[in-house]
Amino acid sequence: MPEGRIVRAVSGFYYVRSSEGDVQCRARGIFKKKKESPLVGDRVTYEETDPMEGVVTRIHPRSTELLRPPVANVEQAVVVGSLRQPGFQPELLDRFLVHAEREGLEVLILLTKRDLLEDGDEVERIRAIYAPAGYRVLPTSVRTGEGIEAVKRALQGQLSVFAGPSGAGKSSLLNAVLPAADLQTGEVSKKLGRGRHTTRHVEILDLPGGGQVADTPGFSQLSFGGFEETELGACFPELAARAPDCRFRGCLHRNEPGCRVKEAVEEGEIHPSRYRNYLQFLEEINEQRRY
């Protein structure tokens, strides 16, 4: 049977790219029984039923899997956050970073709408939050072209996923990187302070010169369903690097004595906002376990 990769999923149809072209497929009922669903990015086997139509019969093992946005087998997460309209949202950014770290993805943080920023030091203040975790932070502007060439270089040779809150400018940025995509963009609501969803589904786009990128719908919430409190610390790289030096094995870096992580926060090695978000996420995981 032929094989390919799912590059788009819309209304129960999966578009599988193979040597024959893009084949429109449905999924076999057995996946529902197994409580499995094909994801964009999946390598699959399909059975042809008509010319350029078929049925997905097998999902190949995944190297990575994100449920929000729903995409599989990506290698790099490009997390997009706007500096203005709406303003920078570190908590929402940290939520996605946790999910990306859990899957072992490379991470690039893109800050959009740099041209709207009056305070030139704000980017450096944001870098100071994420540099201790080893993250690269790149400011961009589709109006001035700042950072666009650097984004193109970062996307080459791998499958990346663009993810971030609604209104952050993901589609505008992708249009600058890949003009042929001509993705729909929308205005940010002044009343709500967030954007409308202009991307309605996950779709993999081919980049000139090699590489692919998955465009995804924006989100305004991201929970930690299925997380254990003991694994959260490993999803904050700057905490994970210091955890072996804590007095107690399995330290949650909350109230335990001899905690190296808390010492690092007090000494300025870990940014307080990252630690606050860690504690908040830890509490959310505990709440979810109670219900």
Q: Report domain extents, the chain.
A: 3-59, 65-215, 229-290
Is 112 labelled as part of a ligand binding site? Answer: yes
Per the DSSP assignment, residues forming a β-bridge with 214 are: 161, 204
More confident residue, 218 or 199: 218
Q: What share of the chain is helix, strand, coil (3-state, %, to 5)?
A: 30, 25, 40
Closest CA to 184 of 199, 206, 166: 199
Is 251 labelled as part of a ligand binding site? Answer: yes
Give me the amino acid identity at 156. Q
- pLDDT exceeds 80 at position 113: yes
- pLDDT exceeds 90 at position 1: no
CATH homologous superfamily, domain 229-290: Probable gtpase engc; domain 3 (1.10.40.50)
Is 41 labelled as part of a ligand binding site? Answer: no
Is 253 labelled as part of a ligand binding site? Answer: yes
Is 235 labelled as part of a ligand binding site? Answer: no
More confident residue, 216 or 71: 71
Is 171 labelled as part of a ligand binding site? Answer: yes
CATH number for region 3-59:
2.40.50.140
> In terms of DSSP bridges, do strands 188-189 and 212-215 run parallel, antiparallel, or are they unpaired?
unpaired
pLDDT recorded at residue 290: 73
- pLDDT exceeds 80 at position 210: yes
Average the pLDDT over 169-195 and give the result: 64
Average the pLDDT over 29-33 and give the result: 78
Is 164 labelled as part of a ligand binding site? Answer: yes
Is 114 labelled as part of a ligand binding site? Answer: yes
What is the Cα 56 distance to its own chain's centre? Answer: 26
Residues 184, 41 contacting (CB under 8 angstroms): no
What phi, psi does 96 have (nearest 5°)?
A: -70, -35
Condensed to tens digits (0 to 9), the pLDDT of residues 116-147 reads 988 779 999 999 999 999 999 999 999 999 99
Task: Give CA–CA dist 27/30, Å, rounded.
Answer: 8
Tell me the percentage of the chain whose pLDDT exceeds 90.
68
Residues 15, 5 contacting (CB under 8 angstroms): no
Condensed to tens digits (0 to 9), the pLDDT of residues 33-49 reads 778 889 999 999 999 99
- pLDDT exceeds 50 at position 247: yes
Is 4 labelled as part of a ligand binding site? Answer: no
Q: For residue 164, what pLDDT band results from cuts at 50, 70 and 90?
A: confident
Q: What is the pTM of this model?
A: 0.86
Is 165 labelled as part of a ligand binding site? Answer: yes
Average the pLDDT over 15-44 and give the result: 89
Is 208 labelled as part of a ligand binding site? Answer: no
Is 169 labelled as part of a ligand binding site? Answer: yes
pLDDT recorded at residue 195: 37
Burial class (CB in 10 A: 0-12, 13-18, 19+), 82: buried
Burial state string for 201-239 with b = 16 or more CB within 10 A and e = fewer than 16: ebbbbebeeebbbbbbbbbeebebeebebeebbebbbbb
More confident residue, 11 or 48: 48
Is 51 labelled as part of a ligand binding site? Answer: no
Condensed to tens digits (0 to 9), the pLDDT of residues 184-206 reads 544 443 333 333 434 468 899 99
- pLDDT exceeds 90 at position 28: no
pLDDT recorded at residue 68: 76
Q: Is 212 helix (H, G, I), strand (E, B) or coil?
A: strand
Is 223 labelled as part of a ligand binding site? Answer: no
Average the pLDDT over 204-228 and give the result: 83
- pLDDT exceeds 80 at position 219: no
CATH number for region 65-215:
3.40.50.300
